[in-house]
Amino acid sequence: MRCVILDDYQDVAGTYAAWDSLDDVEVTSVTEHLDTEALVRALDGAEIVVAMRERTPFPATVLERLPALNLLVTTGMRNASIDLAAAERLGVTVCGTPSSPHPPVELTWALIHALTRHIVTEASGHTWQRTVGSDLHGRTLGLLGLGKIGTRVAAVGQAFGMEVIAWSPHLTAERAEPTGVRAVDKATLFETSDIVSLHLVLAEATRHIVGDRELASMKPTAYLVNTSRAGLVDTQALIAHLGSDTIAGAGLDVFDVEPLPADDVLRHLPNVVATPHLGYVTEDNYRRFYGGAVDDIAAWLAGDPIHTLVPKDPDA
Residues 28 and 130 in one domain: no
- What pLDDT is attached to residue 126? 79
Residues 233 and 144 in one domain: yes
Residues 138 and 40 in one domain: no
Residues 176 and 270 in one domain: yes
With respect to residue 7, please indicate whether it lies within any of the assigned structural domains: yes
With respect to residue 84, please indicate whether it lies within any of the assigned structural domains: yes
- What pLDDT is attached to residue 313? 63
With respect to residue 315, please indicate whether it lies within any of the assigned structural domains: no
- What pLDDT is attached to residue 234? 98
DSSP at 14: G
Separation CA 303–CA 301 (nearest Å): 5
| Phi, psi (deg, nearest 5) at residue 292 | -65, -35
Q: Record the pTM.
A: 0.93
Report helix, strand or coil for 232: helix
With respect to residue 137, please indicate whether it lies within any of the assigned structural domains: yes
Separation CA 55–CA 236 (nearest Å): 22
- What pLDDT is attached to residue 100? 96
- What pLDDT is attached to residue 316? 40
Residues 117 and 253 in one domain: yes
With respect to residue 314, please indicate whether it lies within any of the assigned structural domains: no
Tens place of pLDDT per residue across the chain (316 aa): 999 999 999 999 999 999 999 999 999 999 999 999 999 999 999 999 999 999 999 999 999 999 999 999 999 999 999 999 999 999 999 999 999 999 999 999 999 999 999 999 999 877 899 999 999 999 999 999 999 999 999 999 999 999 999 999 999 999 999 999 999 999 999 999 999 999 999 999 999 999 999 999 999 999 999 999 999 999 999 999 999 999 999 999 999 999 999 999 999 999 999 999 999 999 999 999 999 999 999 999 999 999 999 998 654 4
Separation CA 90–CA 266 (nearest Å): 39
Residues 151 and 286 in one domain: no
- What pLDDT is attached to residue 125? 77
Which residues lie closer than 8 Å to 306 by C-beta, 6 or more apart?
A: 95, 295, 296, 299
CATH number at residue 58: 3.40.50.720
* Structural domains in the chain (count): 2
With respect to residue 151, please indicate whether it lies within any of the assigned structural domains: yes
- Look at the chain and count its residues: 316
Determine if residue 249 is left, alpha or beta; phi over 0 gives left, psi from -120 to 50 gives alpha, anything else beta.
Answer: left
Residues 270 and 298 in one domain: no
Residues 212 and 115 in one domain: yes
Residues 80 and 115 in one domain: no
Residues 12 and 40 in one domain: yes
- Decide: 288 and 97 in contact? Cβ < 8 Å: yes
Separation CA 194–CA 137 (nearest Å): 11
Domain that holds residue 177: 101-274
Looking only at the bridges linking them, the beta strands covering 195-198 and 140-144 are: parallel
With respect to residue 313, please indicate whether it lies within any of the assigned structural domains: no
- What pLDDT is attached to residue 314? 52
Residues 127 and 268 in one domain: yes
Which residues lie closer than 8 Å to 20 by C-beta, 6 or more apart?
A: none
**Which residues have a catalytic role annotated?**
229, 258, 277
Residues 80 and 129 in one domain: no
With respect to residue 24, please indicate whether it lies within any of the assigned structural domains: yes
H-state helical runs in the chain? 36-42, 60-63, 84-89, 102-116, 119-124, 148-159, 173-176, 186-192, 212-216, 235-243, 283-301
